[in-house]
Amino acid sequence: MHRIPHPNGVVTYAFDNLTDLPVAGHVSTRHGGVSPVPWTSLNFSVSRGDEPERVTANFARFCEAVGVEPSQPVRTHQVHGTAVAKVDWDDAGSRQSATDALITDALGLPLFLVFADCTPILLYDSRQHALGVCHAGWRGTVNGAAASTLWAMQAAYSTDPADVWAGIGPSIGPASYEVGEEVFQMAQAKLPGPDRFFTFPNGPDANPYFDLWQANATQLIDAGIPPAQIEIAGIDTAQQTADFFSHRAEKGACGLFGMLAWLPPTESKQ
């Protein structure tokens, strides 16, 4: 990914592998907002104690930075599940309930998700010109949220996985994500070849560390996306709290950053 400072102080990251494709996607950082400590400063969550007026102002600043009308993005009520909502312009400005992924082929319609260690995933079908975004924490990852998003695109738009370009954005990394027995056992039960996604840096009797990046990338590869078309940002939110919120590293005293993506209405990429 590459870092983009905007004139209003907002800083975003964008996927390198999408640069020459007619799709726009920005992952926000914590910079350029109006919220005080501990949400410093571009926080998109009202559920963590920040004032709604500040959150609204933050979202407006993010949208201004990337050239999107703040009333248009489709949002979700995320529940760490695998449900996917297909949306179009009739859904602009709505909040989809109990949904962790959105897909669309509507030109110009922005899709928005929030994160604070979970994995942002963007899927772009370069042939059918369709877009998917997904929020995958450990539950979403082991239950196949990324693949579910791709399958939804196949059903809705006749997407061929060979035509899909994927971006796996900033999230807690394999060197930081220590997990307990519940996560380990669920992954063992549900992921193919799960041992490759876990390490035991503190010894075989200590808690394992989970690699969400590779678990999601492998899921997409197994579903048919060519490995060369998948970008893993490699940005560990727990180790880069100067740029990103991290629920784990900041012990819950933080905000949420976001990913905003859309299909530009013209062939020129925004």
User: Domain boundaries in the chain?
Assistant: 2-262
Residue 270 pLDDT level (bands cut at 50, 70, 90) = very low
DSSP string, 33-80: ----TTS-S----STTS--HHHHHHHHHHHHHHHT--TT--BEE---S
For the 2-262 domain, the top CATH level (class) is: alpha beta
Position 55 scores a pLDDT of 98
The pLDDT tens digits of the residues spanning 62-92 come to: 999 999 999 999 999 999 999 999 999 999 9
Collapsing DSSP to helix, strand or coil, 198 comes out as: strand
Residue 268 pLDDT level (bands cut at 50, 70, 90) = very low
**pTM for the full model?**
0.96
When pLDDT is averaged across residues 97-105 and rounded to a whole number, the result is 98
Euclidean distance between CA atoms 214 and 6, whole angstroms:
31
Position 63 scores a pLDDT of 98
The pLDDT tens digits of the residues spanning 111-127 come to: 999 999 999 999 999 99
The pLDDT tens digits of the residues spanning 10-67 come to: 999 999 999 999 999 999 999 999 999 999 999 999 999 999 999 999 999 999 999 9
Nearest alpha-carbon partner for 143 in 225, 212, 233? 212
Euclidean distance between CA atoms 174 and 255, whole angstroms:
22
Amino acid at 94: S
Say whether pLDDT at 239 is over 80: yes
Say whether pLDDT at 138 is over 90: yes
Lookup: tokens for 127: 């042939």
The pLDDT tens digits of the residues spanning 182-236 come to: 999 999 999 999 999 999 999 999 999 999 999 999 999 999 999 999 999 999 9
